[in-house]
Amino acid sequence: MYKVFINEKIICFTNNAKNYNHFYNCVVLKFFNTTITPFLLDLLSHGRKIEVIVVSVDDYEAAFTQFQSQFKMIFAAGGIVTNAKGKKLFIYRLDKWDLPKGKIEKGEDTRSAAIREVNEECGVTNLMIKKEFPPTYHIYTIKNELVLKQTSWFEMESSFEGELIPQIEENITKAEWLNDEDIKNKVLKNTYSSIANLLSQVF
């Protein structure tokens, strides 16, 4: 299954549409080709009541590959970091809680990029990757061009106990270690759908 987020709505590629029966405002398509992509985007942009579009086809991976081919791709990497006290690292940027992440530089591998971005955005060192999570995907506009961002995520641990330093030049105003209650009461009530979906898999 692949989920693509756009303006807090979802396009899902799967071979089992039954997983989405609980969504009242859901459209299920039993076919996909490249010519249908503009229709899907228009439907989500102007069909205000529609929350989810499910592309339910046998070879959903091939359909998703076709979908990807129609966008400029941007690749990023980030981390869900746990410290020695069991708290998780979050940033506050543009009035939303988020996880530290950023674009992968030319010639850089995803693991190195994820560690670098966490360090740059929060000042955390001594990072060790434990495992990789499934990537997230979301569509947004840069200079009137639609792009599809794929973000690779890693579970990390750190023994860092110093002061967190939010990267102000990246519009990050806070970097904090949060416990499970904070994540439930603060983060999940004010974050992006893609991040909430990722956290639901982690916890």
Q: Are residues 89 and 115 in the same domain?
A: yes
Lowest-confidence region among 23-27, 106-110, 162-166: 23-27
Q: Tell me the average pLDDT of the chain.
A: 93
Q: Are residues 192 and 104 in the same domain?
A: yes
pTM given for the model = 0.91
Q: Report phi then psi at 32, rounded to 5.
A: -155, 140
Q: Are residues 41 and 133 in the same domain?
A: no
- The confidence score (pLDDT) of residue 16 equals 85
For the cut 90, the answer to whether the pLDDT of residue 120 exceeds it is yes
Contacts of 189 (CB under 8 A, 6+ apart): none
User: What is the span of the domain harbouring residue 27?
Assistant: 2-68
Q: Are residues 10 and 108 in the same domain?
A: no
- The confidence score (pLDDT) of residue 22 equals 65
For the cut 90, the answer to whether the pLDDT of residue 109 exceeds it is yes
Q: Identify the residue with better confidence: 150 or 17.
A: 150
Which of the listed residues 35, 68, 101 is the one where a domain comes to its end?
Answer: 68
User: Measured between alpha carbons, how far is 140 from 120 in angstroms, rounded to an integer?
Assistant: 24
- The confidence score (pLDDT) of residue 21 equals 64
For the cut 60, the answer to whether the pLDDT of residue 47 exceeds it is no
Mean pLDDT, residues 95-101: 98
Q: Report phi then psi at 25, rounded to 5.
A: -95, 70
E strand residue ranges, the chain: 2-6, 9-14, 26-29, 52-56, 72-82, 88-93, 96-98, 101-103, 127-142, 145-158, 172-178
The four Cα atoms 15, 17, 19, 21 give a dihedral, to 10 degrees, of 180
User: Measured between alpha carbons, how far is 81 from 182 in angstroms, rounded to an integer?
Assistant: 15
- Quick one: pLDDT band at residue 23, thresholds 50, 70, 90? low
- 3 state SS of 163: coil
- The confidence score (pLDDT) of residue 114 equals 98
Q: Is 19 within 8 Å of 28 (Cβ atoms)?
A: no
Dihedral angle sign, alpha carbons of residues 117, 119, 122, 126: positive
Q: Are residues 123 and 197 in the same domain?
A: yes
